[in-house]
């Protein structure tokens, strides 16, 4: 009787094909490396992950492509899961060098406590008969306890220190380090019908900043750029500027960027080019704000007094203001006090208006003419760029972009603007 399966003796005859390829090996592995790379590049990230688990040859080819497609910007919690992941990525010979930014959340998880949960559904009766929202709360509380224990142990600082050591070892000097907050004013909606409202997560800026500062100090890591993202939500951020250790640790960083976002009001303060250029976008330079939100970085705000001290301690060669709202008196004072040593100044899309309280803070009444005269006093200025400078009540001061080089051009250009404005009425 002939067996339905091929006999073992048939092996050699099968291998005698025209290419003499051993069928025990995949035909794809016989392709040149260049063709394999081109083929693998067309795969999705999920497929690449599976290919990496097939064999050493394909893993080596797919890993580089896989690394190119992974997120190079990581937003992490100081949790064991996230920190294990960070240590693993930074220690990988391919993934480590490709990371560009790591940012840590200010979140800390709280246990949800309420007499209703204890009295109506005590844990000793088990959770199988408890409503879904009770099981969710208990699961959250388990996570909160684990998170708190992890932070109290200091392991997150040790792991971040190790991750920074890994980045140094793989010569990744382009990494950005920072922290971010998120809208954690979230409430357990499933508890609302029972009259229970709670905030299961709070933010601790000092704890996050201290952890970053300690790790950077212990690892002696050279931070290139510090990124701070604040989704402010009407909260005071004084705590951010009292963490002296964090600011001292990252003081040597060449670049700093602070983004704030609140009520669709967005602004950025960016220090670049080895701390020689300051760019402020979306800021308010007004004596008062007409919105209900008072958390946008404000030149006269005491809330941000420390950050101005931190930012303005550098001697900038270049300053750029973009998309800013201003009152003449504040803008003139701002230019007069912070830009006396500046060599290059750019003002783009600035909306200016006479202050409704011109004598506020002891400031005299200012106009477009006095503003231009203030610019003329900047004797160290080597170049001046103006674009879309508008008086919101009267009209355009300078609509088209101008670029004046040298004091002679700057003085002549400003004189022309003053001449055009002499017929304006400044009683607004």
Q: Give the pLDDT mean for 73-96.
A: 90
Q: Give the pLDDT mean for 8-26.
A: 46
pLDDT of residue 262: 64
Q: Which of 7, 41, 69 is the last residue of a domain?
A: 69
Is residue 97 domain-resident?
yes
Of 84-98, 270-284, 299-313, 346-360, the poorest mean pLDDT is in: 299-313
Angstrom CA distances, 56 to 52, 59, 60, 61, 303, stand at 8, 5, 6, 9, 57
Compute the C-alpha angle 173/176/179, nearest 5°: 150
Is residue 4 domain-resident?
no
Is residue 355 domain-resident?
yes
* pLDDT tens by residue, 248-287: 777 778 888 888 776 666 778 888 877 789 898 988 777 6
Which is higher by pLDDT, 224 or 183?
A: 224
- Regarding whether 272 and 161 lie in a shared domain, the answer is no
Q: Give the pLDDT mean for 337-349.
A: 87
- Regarding whether 340 and 298 lie in a shared domain, the answer is yes
For residue 116, pLDDT beyond 90? no
Instruction: Report the C-alpha gap between 354 and 225 in whole angstroms.
Output: 37
180 three-class SS:
strand
Pairing of strands 383-391, 402-405: antiparallel
Is residue 14 domain-resident?
no
- Regarding whether 418 and 272 lie in a shared domain, the answer is yes
- Regarding whether 380 and 241 lie in a shared domain, the answer is no
- Regarding whether 127 and 98 lie in a shared domain, the answer is yes
The rounded mean pLDDT for the chain is 76
Q: Give the pLDDT mean for 226-245.
A: 69
Is residue 295 domain-resident?
yes
* pLDDT tens by residue, 317-333: 999 999 988 888 778 87
pLDDT of residue 114: 64
Containing structural domain, residue 365: 254-428
Length of the chain: 428
User: How many structural domains are present in the chain?
Assistant: 3
For residue 293, pLDDT beyond 50? no
- Regarding whether 413 and 268 lie in a shared domain, the answer is yes
Of 35-39, 72-76, 365-369, the poorest mean pLDDT is in: 35-39
Confidence of residue 15 (pLDDT cuts 50, 70, 90): very low
pTM: 0.73
- Regarding whether 277 and 240 lie in a shared domain, the answer is no
Is residue 230 domain-resident?
no
- Regarding whether 199 and 125 lie in a shared domain, the answer is yes
- Regarding whether 50 and 168 lie in a shared domain, the answer is no
Is residue 26 domain-resident?
no
Which is higher by pLDDT, 406 or 244?
A: 406
pLDDT of residue 42: 72
For residue 177, pLDDT beyond 50? yes
Instruction: Report the C-alpha gap between 36 and 62 in whole angstroms.
Output: 9
Q: Which of 189, 216, 249 is the last residue of a domain?
A: 249
- Regarding whether 421 and 290 lie in a shared domain, the answer is yes
* pLDDT tens by residue, 403-427: 999 999 999 999 999 988 887 766 5
Is residue 2 domain-resident?
no
Instruction: Report the C-alpha gap between 279 and 262 in whole angstroms.
Output: 20
- Regarding whether 148 and 128 lie in a shared domain, the answer is yes
pLDDT of residue 290: 47
Q: Return the structure tokens found at 171.
A: 């010569």
- Regarding whether 413 and 278 lie in a shared domain, the answer is yes
């Amino acid at each position: 009787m002939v067996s339905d399966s091929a006999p073992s003796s048939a092996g050699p005859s099968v291998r005698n094909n025209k290419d003499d390829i051993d069928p025990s090996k995949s035909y794809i592995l016989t392709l040149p490396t260049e063709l394999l790379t081109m083929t693998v590049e067309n795969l999705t990230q999920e497929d690449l992950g599976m290919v990496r688990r097939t064999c050493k040859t394909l893993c080596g080819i797919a890993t580089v492509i896989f690394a190119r497609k992974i997120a190079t910007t990581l937003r992490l919690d100081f949790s064991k899961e996230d920190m294990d992941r960070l240590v693993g990525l930074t220690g990988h010979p391919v993934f480590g060098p490709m990371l560009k930014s790591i940012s840590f959340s200010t979140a800390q998880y709280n246990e949800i406590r309420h007499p209703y949960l204890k009295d109506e559904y005590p844990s000793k009766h088990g959770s199988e008969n408890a409503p879904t929202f009770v099981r969710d709360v208990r699961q959250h509380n388990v996570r909160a306890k684990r998170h708190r224990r992890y932070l109290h142990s200091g392991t997150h600082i040790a792991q971040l220190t190790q991750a920074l050591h890994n980045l140094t070892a793989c010569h990744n000097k382009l990494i950005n380090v920072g922290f971010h907050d998120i809208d954690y004013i979230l409430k357990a909606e499933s508890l609302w019908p029972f009259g229970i409202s709670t905030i299961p997560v709070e933010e601790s800026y000092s704890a996050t900043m201290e952890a970053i500062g300690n790790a950077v100090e212990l690892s002696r890591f050279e931070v290139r750029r510090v990124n701070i993202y604040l989704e402010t939500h009407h909260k005071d951020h004084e705590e951010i500027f009292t963490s002296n250790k964090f600011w001292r640790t990252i003081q040597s960083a060449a670049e700093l960027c602070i983004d704030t976002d609140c009520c669709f009001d967005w602004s950025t303060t960016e220090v670049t080019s080895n701390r020689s250029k300051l760019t402020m976008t979306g800021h308010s330079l007004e004596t008062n704000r007409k919105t209900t939100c008072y958390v946008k970085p404000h030149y006269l705000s005491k809330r941000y007094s420390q950050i101005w001290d931190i930012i303005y301690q550098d001697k900038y060669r270049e300053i750029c203001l973009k998309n800013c709202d201003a009152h003449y008196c504040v803008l003139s004072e701002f230019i007069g006090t912070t830009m006396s040593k500046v060599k290059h100044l750019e003002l783009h899309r600035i909306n200016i208006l006479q202050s409704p309280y011109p004598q506020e803070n002891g400031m005299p009444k200012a106009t477009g003419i006095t503003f231009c005269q203030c610019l003329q006093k900047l004797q160290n200025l080597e170049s001046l760029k103006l674009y879309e400078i508008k008086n919101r009540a009267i009209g355009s001061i300078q609509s088209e972009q101008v670029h004046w080089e040298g004091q002679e051009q700057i003085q002549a250009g400003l004189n022309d603007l003053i001449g055009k404005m002499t017929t304006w009425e400044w009683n607004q």
